[in-house]
Amino acid sequence: MRILYSFSVILIFTVNISANEIKERCESIISEYFKNDVQYSFFEYTIEPKTRSEIEIKCQQRFLSDKVIVWEIRKADSIKAYAVLDNVYGKSLPITFLVIFNPGGSVLKSDIIKYREPFGGGVANENWQQQFTNKNKNSAFDLGSDIHVLSGATISSRSVTKGIQKLVMLIGEISKNNGNKIISVR
């Protein structure tokens, strides 16, 4: 029950998909990326108000919640990566996305978990998502120059780009402060 409650914080706007389905999709992406050669646990991370405010100002986009869901991904006794689940608003509905980071805070992979808008779904395209690979806190996220804007998906392109940038800025805090309660281990 605690697992589903935690996911409901992130997925409060979810339409036609359960929190458990979101969790399973995220864990499937993590397992596939690491070829099932890792163990992971997830926890709910509460963003400190000062950190939240600084990131929102820098990225010019608000977090939809003061919490994100984080997977700590391990191989043997060392942290191999983190994956962070969050939502951003598209034109009128949330876009749920996952970003996998190496321990240094660079993006390894990003993926759209649930796209709810009738138009603009091109942001879920793997080729478009690959633009974020290797982005880190020192990277530019300028739409139109560093990140391609998709025709017919301008709002979604902007929203997802800013959402990933927010998580890139947040991942350092998460990795420093990951003493949160682990909810589930696989």
Helix (H, G, I), strand (E, B) or coil at 110: strand
Nearest to 148 by CA among 126, 120, 129: 129
DSSP letter for each residue of 108-167 = EEEEEEEE-SSS-GGGG-HHHHGGGTT--TTS---BTTTBPPPTT-HHHHHHHHHHHHHH
> What is the pTM assigned to this prediction?
0.88
Q: Record the tokens describing residue 100, joined without a space.
A: 């996998």
Which pLDDT value is given to residue 153? Answer: 87
Residues in the chain: 186
Enumerate the domain spans of the chain.
2-180
d(CA 171, CA 1): 27
By the 10 Å C-beta count (0-12 exposed, 13-18 middle, 19+ buried), 121 is classed as middle
pLDDT (tens, 9 = 90+) of the chain, 186 residues, equals 555 555 554 544 444 568 899 999 999 999 999 998 899 999 999 999 999 999 999 999 999 999 999 999 999 889 999 999 999 999 999 999 999 999 999 999 999 999 998 888 899 999 999 999 999 999 999 998 999 999 888 999 999 999 999 999 999 999 887 644 444 444
